Amino acid sequence: MAIDTTPGTVAQNMLNGIDYSALIGGPLQAAITAQAMAAKSTWEFIQQVGLNTNADGNKEAVNVTFTYQKDGNLTTMIVPILTIVPIPMIVIDKVQIDFKASINASSSQCTENSESTALDVGGEAKAKLGWGPFSLSITAKANYSSKKDSKATSESRYSVEYTQDVSVHATQADVPAGLATVLNILTMAATADAGVNGKIEVEQGEITPRFDEEIACRIALKTASGLYAKGQKIKINPVTASGSGNFEGLTITYDHIKKPVVANEEITLADGFTTLYISIAPDAKNIPPMILQITSTLNNQEVKSEILIDEVKAIENNSNNP
């Protein structure tokens, strides 16, 4: 009996019919879609948590502002929120697809033949023989029958099994270069000491005047939000042991056109800051130690700062100006 090759052909056809593009491409497409959703979630987090839209329709960073004690005084810290909270940035860095196909095909065939034969003539004959006093009677009967049985059995079995394991690994992504630059800028913008009601910042807290040099000192007036208080006014008043109320041998001007500073007169800071130029007057004999008190009013609250002026004696004046 010839070998039945049908099961092998069927199995091969089933194997060739597997859609590998769907089996492999499906998980990859799902991973790409998930990565896009993760990127969108990062963008939405930055938009909803880290940024606000102001009245002009421009985006501005959301700041966290709180007060704390410093050197016995209350002061304000301003920190952009994006620099203190983790930004969700998930990246899928590995997709592993394991696929196994198991196809079982079988065929069985069974043939059974049985044959029986019987003889029956289907007739009867009688005969009598005799010799003298003896006689013999014979009866003969014969029949013939023929029987033939045939049996054939065939069976085929097929089974298909697919197994697919998909493993996806995701980690926190590194911060993109552009976002890292933004975060660095925001970090530098954090203000550790903004003052509860605002603050006057001075570039130099202590100055020693010189006969041969003009000393520049930048002054900035900032609000409690850390922004320049543009258009606000300040006053500069000297405080000496004699209580004279003048600068006693100092020449103080401000701005690039060097307007003279007059004690207790208001100075308008158009941009929220200015530069003081401090020098010794040509006819000065001694420069007593003094404090330059700088005051302003923000939100109906007084803010102040000061510059210490060191003493300069006449001997230095005589040694440098023969």
Q: What is the CATH number of the domain that holds 300?
A: 2.60.40.2410
Do 260 and 307 contact (CB within 8 A), yes or no? no
First to last CA, the chain: 135
What is d(CA 105, CA 9) in angstroms, rounded to the nearest whole number? 9
Could you tell me if residue 253 is inside a domain? yes
Is the pLDDT at 49 greater than 70? The verdict is yes
Could you tell me if residue 218 is inside a domain? yes
Structure tokens belonging to residue 307: 């510059």
Same domain membership, residue 73 and residue 113: no
Which of the four pLDDT bands, split at 50, 70 and 90, describes residue 122?
low
CA distances from 143 to 114, 119, 120, 139, 241 (A): 22, 5, 2, 14, 161
**Mean pLDDT calculated for residue range 12-31:** 78
**Mean pLDDT calculated for residue range 245-270:** 91
pLDDT digits (tens, 9 = 90+) for 53-87: 888 888 888 888 888 887 777 788 888 888 888 88
Count of domains observed in the chain:
3
Domain interval for residue 180: 6-102+163-189
Residue 128's pLDDT is: 59
Is the pLDDT at 198 greater than 80? The verdict is yes
Across the chain, mean pLDDT equals 79
Model's pTM, two decimal places?
0.57
Could you tell me if residue 310 is inside a domain? yes
What is d(CA 144, CA 162) in angstroms, rounded to the nearest whole number? 62
Same domain membership, residue 237 and residue 113: no
Residue 283's pLDDT is: 82
Which of the four pLDDT bands, split at 50, 70 and 90, describes residue 11?
low
Could you tell me if residue 1 is inside a domain? no
**Mean pLDDT calculated for residue range 254-274:** 93
Is the pLDDT at 248 greater than 80? The verdict is yes
Same domain membership, residue 127 and residue 242: no
Strand partners, 296: 234, 303
Residue where a domain terminates, one of 151, 179, 212: 151
What is d(CA 255, CA 275) in angstroms, rounded to the nearest whole number? 5
